[in-house]
Structure 1
Amino acid sequence: MIGSGGSSGLSPVGRIRSAVRRARAGRHWGRVRDVELWQRSLGFSALGFLTLVPLLIVVSAADTATGQGFAQWLGDGLGVSPAARAEIDRLFALPGQAWRTTTAFGLAVLTVFGLSFGTMLQSGYERIWDLPPARWWARWRHVVWLAVLVGVLYLSAITPPWRESPARGFVTVAIGTLFFWWSQRLLLGGRVAWTALLPGAVATMVALLGLRIFSRLVFSPLIASSAVTYGPFGTVLVIQTWLVGIGVVVFGGALAGRLLHDELPRRSGPPQPG
């Protein structure tokens, strides 16, 4: 007779496998909770808007004919409709003046603040991989990471949108995957093997593509309607929300890579210190 319990009808081997799956699920949930994904994503959004966005506006305005480099990159990243893109262009209507009016001291201050963004990202990666904080002399990695990030986004800002060239879309995905793969390796100081970091880079890029589709369906009409209701401030709110989504994708993708790596059979030993 079949008992009323959910697992009483299972064989002994089946019950053992069910228990193992429940244990793994609990362990994975505990890891997600320990990473504090939502809190880190909120910090990612706030710090990115206050430190990284001004720096990118200045850099992208350095060599664009219209001075709309950052607005173009942002609209392309959001994947929004032409109406929503027009609101973004209006929000950053005079970014070209940023380059002409920014002094060397101001640019240096923006750079210093931008380095804190790399510090925050490194802290999240270290928590995901259960690593202690890096030594203070490893801060040079933040300089290298910020320079490469600005270079990648600058090239993206001054080139045609990827929708105008399918080949460029594939190249963008490949470059993005390599960037997130390399970012983890650099910011973690080489303490995690390249092979262990690859799943996280792929998961991050796939999630970014999914976020782009979500932005097209949700954020695009929100930008248009919020601009009518609240003016430019409404557009800022939507962009801030989108940055929270980017934070979830960046940290969540790395965490998914760690969980996937833990489930795969490994032949190598523990991560080697850099």
Structure 2
Amino acid sequence: MAAGRLLSFGRLGSTLRRVRAGRRWVHVRDLDLWQRSLGFAALGFLTLVPLLIVVTAADARGGHGFAQWLADGLGVSPAAGAEIQRLFALPGQAWRTTTAFGLALLAVFGLSFGTTLQSGYERVWNLAPGRWWASWRHVLWLGVLVGVLYVSAISSPWRESPARGFVTVAIGTLFFWWSQRLLLGGRVPWSALLPGAVATMIGLLGLRIFSRLVFSPLIASNAVTYGPFGTVLVIQSWLVGIGVVVFGGALVGRLLHDELGRRTLPAEDPRPSPSAPVDPGR
């Protein structure tokens, strides 16, 4: 029994030393997770949110899909959801008042979203930056992202049956799996990217539970104290959390891939091969 405990502690110590040494693991500090998440949130609030408001304003229900989707994504209570609805009280006017130039400008700035995400994925996998002529991937990624969010906004899957929720999780996993493959230019195999996509979706589900417990009462209290600006602060904090989950999920996927790959490698035999030549100088 004592020998088994000593062996277990020895393995644990070996694992901790391997993690500290960084031989097979990527350091979180090398990813600059917090700084990238702040940039992700800033770009999301300045570019992606206005773009989605304009796109969902074309909904036949009067464009209320974005506010409903945002409330569902946060997982907030009905009272907090009402504050979000008031914040976007007249989204239907966005489609009539937005010019083609304004929409194009939002799309151009939205492309930096894909650039930021690609840079984070490349840091996770220790890859060189992609070539400038591969910017078409950002255009494709942004179009698919807006389409996925628009469908989720007009369908409100979280308020439907559990089957719809399962389909939403599956679509999200496929989207993040495909996003890594596309933005990395196919330099990482599909099998290595799957753990990151699964970890990202699990993190988003956990963030939704956290939002229900923390952000929902904050929206209600901040709306009384600071007015609509308080709701904006909570939404911005939620976007920072999404950035942490997106980049952190990819990092967890990399760590899992490296650990599984290490365990599947055959153990090296320290004994020399019988067919190996013998050094006469020994």
TM-score, with structure 1 as normaliser: 0.90
Task: Say what the alpha-carbon RMSD is for the aligned residues.
Answer: 2.0
Match for residue 212 of structure 2 among 213, 216, 220: 216
Q: Matched residue of 1:265: which SS?
A: helix
Structure 1: 5+ residue runs without aligned partners? Answer: 3-8, 269-274
Structure 2 distance, partners of 1:53, 1:214, is 21
Q: Give the equivalent residue in structure 1 for 2:160.
A: 164
**Does the 8 A contact of 1:64 with 1:158 survive in 2?**
no
Q: Matched residue of 1:80: which SS?
A: coil
Give the drift of 1:31: 1.4
Segments ≥4 residues shifted beyond 3 Å: none
Structure 2 distance, partners of 1:10, 1:217, is 41
Q: Give the equivalent residue in structure 2 for 1:240.
A: 236
Structure 2 distance, partners of 1:29, 1:229, is 45
Structure 2 distance, partners of 1:64, 1:161, is 18
Structure 1 distance, partners of 2:141, 2:222, is 34
Match for residue 195 of structure 1 among 191, 203, 210: 191
Q: Matched residue of 1:73: which SS?
A: helix
**Does the 8 A contact of 2:157 with 2:168 survive in 1?**
no
Structure 2 distance, partners of 1:117, 1:229, is 32
**Are residue 265 (structure 1) and residue 257 (structure 2) matched?**
no
Q: Give the equivalent residue in structure 1 for 2:69.
A: 73
Q: Give the equivalent residue in structure 2 for 1:183.
A: 179
Q: Give the equivalent residue in structure 2 for 1:126.
A: 122
Structure 2: 5+ residue runs without aligned partners? Answer: 266-282
Structure 1 distance, partners of 2:224, 2:58, is 31
TM-score, with structure 2 as normaliser: 0.88
**Are residue 22 (structure 1) and residue 16 (structure 2) matched?**
yes
Q: Give the equivalent residue in structure 2 for 1:64.
A: 60
* Paired residue type of 2:99: T
Match for residue 150 of structure 2 among 154, 171, 181: 154
Structure 2 distance, partners of 1:14, 1:202, is 31
Q: Give the equivalent residue in structure 2 for 1:108.
A: 104
Q: Give the equivalent residue in structure 1 for 2:269.
A: none
**Does the 8 A contact of 2:192 with 2:254 survive in 1?**
yes
Number of residues paired by the alignment?
260
**Does the 8 A contact of 1:122 with 1:187 survive in 2?**
yes
* Paired residue type of 1:21: T
**Alpha-carbon distance change, 10 to 245 in structure 1, aligned in 2, over 3 angstroms:** same
**Does the 8 A contact of 1:80 with 1:215 survive in 2?**
yes
